[in-house]
Structure 1
């Protein structure tokens, strides 16, 4: 009988699903309470064993027997690794700290991906009426969801919604082209060639000539059409949403606030256009009302651009957008650090640039104030370099060199961390997609011949 002790050099061949591993009795007896330790104790004459298990995981288990360090393989799910450790009767407390932190990071990533994937679900329908509302909600918000009955129609709606959003942006951009404006005579001395030339006018007559008559009515109707479509769609989503509280905590709440804001200012603008301007003589404060209508139109344009935040709702469908959003979420501390460092540098170097350039002549000096020096520092530190402002004195050159070097340093370090986070999130997303494809493939029933 073979003598069992830790110094026993007898070879043990362990076959893991066809792949052989060679160890010794002494190595396996380092952990006598493990499966292999019990095996060599109970069967001292055995030299060859077979197990149907994962060879890659067992390779790390055998390394643990040899060196005392237990690491999780890179391409193995952490929970799967723990289940195999349970089979080999190796305590999870032996896992190295680096792998535990990596597993924790992976778990956090899973939670973040699940957050973007989850939709507002109803625990109970509570009747056929609520069930229909829930199905409408799934149709509008979850084209690939398991509860969506007409997935093809839901996908078509999602694509149509995206195209309509792009159409809204396109018509808004075309409306600013001078070639698309009405060729009309105005009360002003010259026809404006761009929207900034439409000056702020406190009279209803000027407001009519310089804004209402200039822009063709078709663009106003198209804007109103986009507003109505978006308002109807968001209200249907709100009515059919199973959980109104979660609705306001998601991107849907932002959509609703945008729609409500547009509604208020559309009422003000339409009142000014169709009531005040045609009947200006009947209102004592017509000029103020026209100014309010003009400001309401400007606010509608600004708030209307927020509509494109709706595209963030596609993060649960398009994995690339999901990866980008999660990267920003994981990197918010680095982004705040970047902004803080840039702000601090601008406040420090702006006055230095200005006072180092005051010895230049008025014709040479393009940095005329500290705020303009702030602009120069921002443009220089971000390596944009418009060339609209530049130093013309030797002290200014020296300070600018320092600004360039500091800018390269403080922008490179946080951005490198953000890039690293993007690589981690992207790799994790690829792994999740492969696991989902594998799970879907295994769950698909085989077609009987």
Structure 2
């Protein structure tokens, strides 16, 4: 199929080998555009410039292309400024530019947003789909098991298994919360030798240690839940299509972190018939804090929802990733302002009062953080008009830094959500 046809005044094809001309007619999609030959020659290397360079007579050229986009392209030859209207599809306009031999970098800065509005978003979505754990292909046993454990909507059995897994997560989180009510922490002597023949109130702090006591019934509940979590994790690990992609998934990493504290506590706790005891040390406190990862596992509920229900969470993740550069710049500005106000309040307050809450600059950093984030615990505050002015400026600066990222995040979220929704709609229509 020919994209360009040369017609004479009667509408018939004509040989282009006669007389000098000053004008040519470009018919694009039925819309005739009459333009000087010299105008088209102003931008060398393009399709139109090459077309008229060897033409010697008045002629009309027909192109079966988009006339709306061509109007902006022809205006580029006339004015030297390449712009596009806001209602023009950026992807379609980019294809038109490539056809006419014009570089996308020639587009004016005011219109770059229209051209690139969804191009970067589409690339990010495709990249996230490539990095995501794709469902296993084929009809093998491993592929079927993987679909049952990872894709709740693939079959009724997969949905039932997802519900069971969610119930185990809820039981584990609830038991963890109730356990804190019955858990006791008491002071005991380090050993029998220290406590021999002495009353408890006679012992000094270095001779005592914190002992954490947990009822054994909660350990039994945790044992059952962790057994299910471990079995589920190992089955998914064995049956997954790609071990590397599986281990790189953030949710799978959270699953592993949620399981590990139980096995680490087996070495730290002494197991009795009615209770579990362990010395409260930084190690036991760290291991216990890892159990908070079980709450994050509730995010797997999104997999059980209809496909369009998870779009918001996925769009939010893509929006955060797309806004990371702006967040980093604002983070740098935040820490610069933090250091400035912490140092300033320290010196101004010390010049005003003999006694002050701002004992040193690191303490002042804490005040600057809670002031800039508008928390204001009230444990540290200025007591003179000079430091109060510094505090006022610190609070206003913090509000500006916190508020600025919100429009950026909202814009990226709406952009990615619209793209994901349109892509899912196309997929649904294609499967019908």
> If the length of structure 1 is used for normalisation, what is the TM-score?
0.66
Q: 1:114 to 1:207 in 2, by over 3 A?
A: farther
| C-alpha separation in 2, matches of 1:53 and 1:29 | 20
* TM-aligned CA deviation for residue 302 of structure 1: 1.0
Q: 1:444 to 1:396 in 2, by over 3 A?
A: closer
1:91 and 2:113 aligned: no
* TM-aligned CA deviation for residue 437 of structure 1: 1.3
Q: 1:65 to 1:360 in 2, by over 3 A?
A: closer
* TM-aligned CA deviation for residue 306 of structure 1: 2.0
Checking the alignment, whether the CA contact within 8 Å between 1:381 and 1:403 is kept in structure 2 is yes
Larger mean Cα displacement after TM superposition, 390-399 or 23-32: 23-32
The residue aligned with 1:353 is: 345
- Choose the corresponding residue for 1:141, options 142, 145, 150: 150
The residue aligned with 1:212 is: 214
- Choose the corresponding residue for 1:169, options 148, 173, 188: 173
Q: 1:367 to 1:112 in 2, by over 3 A?
A: same
Unaligned runs of 5+ in 2: 1-7, 10-18, 193-207
Q: Deviations over 1:392-441 (max 9, x none)?
A: 123322332342344345x15xx535632541343143034214413542
The residue aligned with 1:393 is: 384
Give 3-state SS (helix, strand or coil) of 2:369's partner.
helix
* TM-aligned CA deviation for residue 158 of structure 1: 4.5
| C-alpha separation in 1, matches of 2:298 and 2:114 | 32
Checking the alignment, whether the CA contact within 8 Å between 1:34 and 1:90 is kept in structure 2 is yes
| C-alpha separation in 2, matches of 1:346 and 1:94 | 42
- Choose the corresponding residue for 1:328, options 308, 320, 342: 320
Checking the alignment, whether the CA contact within 8 Å between 2:188 and 2:211 is kept in structure 1 is no
Q: How many residues align?
A: 387
The residue aligned with 2:221 is: 222
1:112 and 2:110 aligned: no
Checking the alignment, whether the CA contact within 8 Å between 1:140 and 1:158 is kept in structure 2 is yes
Q: Deviations over 1:353-389 (max 9, x none)?
A: 3454455476xx5555654433222111222223333
- Choose the corresponding residue for 1:419, options 407, 421, 431: 407
Give 3-state SS (helix, strand or coil) of 2:381's partner.
coil
Q: 1:115 to 1:345 in 2, by over 3 A?
A: same
1:34 and 2:48 aligned: yes
Checking the alignment, whether the CA contact within 8 Å between 1:381 and 1:404 is kept in structure 2 is yes
| C-alpha separation in 1, matches of 2:50 and 2:112 | 24
| C-alpha separation in 1, matches of 2:289 and 2:129 | 30
| C-alpha separation in 1, matches of 2:290 and 2:321 | 24
The residue aligned with 1:434 is: 422
Q: 1:174 to 1:323 in 2, by over 3 A?
A: same
Give 3-state SS (helix, strand or coil) of 2:378's partner.
coil
Q: Deviations over 1:284-313 (max 9, x none)?
A: xxxxx8327x76654443111123444667
Q: 1:357 to 1:141 in 2, by over 3 A?
A: same
Q: Deviations over 1:92-146 (max 9, x none)?
A: 4266344678766744433332333344458986xx7xx21122223333456xx
The residue aligned with 1:272 is: 270
* TM-aligned CA deviation for residue 242 of structure 1: 2.3
The residue aligned with 2:373 is: 382
Checking the alignment, whether the CA contact within 8 Å between 2:342 and 2:365 is kept in structure 1 is yes
Unaligned runs of 5+ in 1: 145-149, 182-194, 279-288
| C-alpha separation in 1, matches of 2:334 and 2:136 | 48
Q: 1:326 to 1:33 in 2, by over 3 A?
A: closer
Q: 1:395 to 1:81 in 2, by over 3 A?
A: closer
What is the 5 A alignment of 1:400-415?
400-409=391-400, 411-412=401-402
State the Cα RMSD in Å.
Answer: 4.7
| C-alpha separation in 2, matches of 1:74 and 1:239 | 50
> If the length of structure 2 is used for normalisation, what is the TM-score?
0.68
What is the 5 A alignment of 1:211-360?
211-212=213-214, 217-251=216-250, 254-255=253-254, 257-259=256-258, 261-269=260-268, 272-274=270-272, 290-291=278-279, 298-310=285-297, 318-358=310-350, 360=353
The residue aligned with 2:33 is: 23
Checking the alignment, whether the CA contact within 8 Å between 2:86 and 2:114 is kept in structure 1 is no
